[in-house]
A and B are shown apart, each in its own frame.
Chain A
């Protein structure tokens, strides 16, 4: 399983997480290249279907990286996103797929270090689970 390179889709809030991404870039702390970053204006705008679609298209994991609850510009964006992630976890479970394949993380703007850590953590988790089976 060592050569398994999980395909992971990350939805990032352009206010904080993405700026963290930039900082991390500046710090030359590269993001693993198997992570596909999708920037969104606010994680609260991510619909349940957006979170499911990557799995339909073959992703092994999905995560949302958003602001801290108190620093969200749109008030409750990340809280909403967390609820949708929970909904998708339930759906995955119903489908017989590990709910750990989707998660939500909160981070502060400009914390490049944190951003990379989260990405690596997700990669590790999904690596541990292996690919979504395709029987």
Chain B
């Protein structure tokens, strides 16, 4: 899933300080699963904005709505009826959501309510970790099913570097050295010789470095 975190409430208050009618829009996709952008969080943010409005003596009207997904135009249409009543929209979906909203409702001021962080998953309750950097040409089978592009701090394809220590990355004791894991796993699987092969420079053309990406599936295009 796409993992995000709530923006600090102070930052959001500053963003919408000039608006009195604010619509908070959530998403039932990834951000619901990682507890930052679902109906619950819409409620919390909306309530916070109201409490603040009350404290400041400002008559703030805060609407709440949670869409099935914000990354699909068909669900965004649902806002058509209500969005007109508001001056500002805070989307607490991943970075895709507020962009789809501002494209669909060009006259509205749309604000991002979360910081979108990475593609990853829950490693334990309340803890998420990055797994994929969307490089566009997956090759994790060469590395014991572990991704050095997303998970090595230097994206080394011929690791580990000289900073790997006690299974941790040189940048922090809180970060696992993925290359330590790759070497151990490949050794356990009796595939060490594969790691001795030189991996040539990667083509980043399929990654973001190649420019903004698009995917077209002819058989689905209407």
Contacts and interface: CB of A to CB of B under 8 A. Distances in A.
Interface of A: 47-49, 52-53, 55-56, 58, 91, 94-97, 132-135
A35 to B, nearest CB: 20
A91 B8 CA distance: 9
Q: Is the interface of B mostly helix, strand, loop or mixed?
A: helix
Interface in B175-193: none
Interface of B: 8-10, 13, 40, 43-44, 47-48, 50-52, 54-58
6 pairs of A and B residues whose beta carbons are closest in the complex: A135-B57, A94-B9, A52-B47, A49-B43, A95-B52, A55-B51
Contact of B51 (A47, A48, A95): A95
A52 B55 contact: no
Contacts of A135: 55-58
A135 B51 CA distance: 12
B40 A134 contact: no
Given A94-B9, A95-B13, A95-B48, A49 B55 contact: no
A93 to B, nearest CB: 9
A110 B116 CA distance: 48
B55 A91 contact: no
B63 to A, nearest CB: 14
Nearest to B48: A91
Given A52-B44, A94-B9, 11 more contacts: A48-B44, A52-B48, A55-B51, A56-B54, A91-B44, A94-B13, A94-B48, A95-B51, A96-B52, A96-B55, A135-B58
